[in-house]
Copies of this chain bind each other. A is one copy, B any other.
Amino acid sequence: MSDIPRSGATATEGVAIDETSQLIAASKVNGTAVYSRAGENIGSIYDVMIEKRSGQVAYAVMSFGGFLGIGERYHPLPWKALTYDTSLGGYVVDIPRDRLEAAPSYGRDETPWSDPAYGRRVSDYYGVGGV
């Protein structure tokens, strides 16, 4: 792999091709801050998991804790749990912190998605449909 970004729609380009009122580029979602209902910064969006066949976003994966990936935890969240707040410049997740902390999550070296039942456990935990 070279150091050339794999996706070029970064905030540094200054050209607004990555968001409209209805659409947002995946590369813009990734890295966006996540806040609690109380406005506390609880993490950021690490990645978005897409259902290959349908093209439906199944989960947004929030990362929190750690430093440069060390000690970081990844929390899959239903896409619908995220509400963008323009004044905060990030997503608000209206889920109590203790409930988020007890939710399915994984560390940097874990591969939970290789278990086909993992997504279902996440969906069941949050009480939504999913893969």
Give the interface of A toward B (CB within 8 A).
1, 4-12, 15-27, 29-31, 46-59, 61, 63, 68-69, 74, 79-80, 84, 106, 108-114, 116, 119, 131
Contacts and interface: CB of A to CB of B under 8 A. Distances in A.
Contacts of A8: 46-47, 63, 69
B131 A17 contact: no
Contacts of A52: 21-24, 84
A8 to B, nearest CB: 6
Contact of A116 (B21, B54, B61): B21
A111 B116 CA distance: 39
A63 B12 CA distance: 18
Contacts of A61: 25
A30 B7 contact: yes
15 contacts: A6-B31, A8-B63, A16-B113, A17-B106, A17-B112, A20-B114, A21-B52, A22-B52, A23-B49, A26-B47, A26-B50, A27-B27, A48-B50, A50-B57, A54-B56
A111 B50 contact: no
Q: List 9 tightest A-B contacts by C-beta distance, closest first.
A: A6-B31, A26-B26, A55-B79, A55-B57, A7-B30, A26-B48, A20-B113, A25-B47, A23-B49
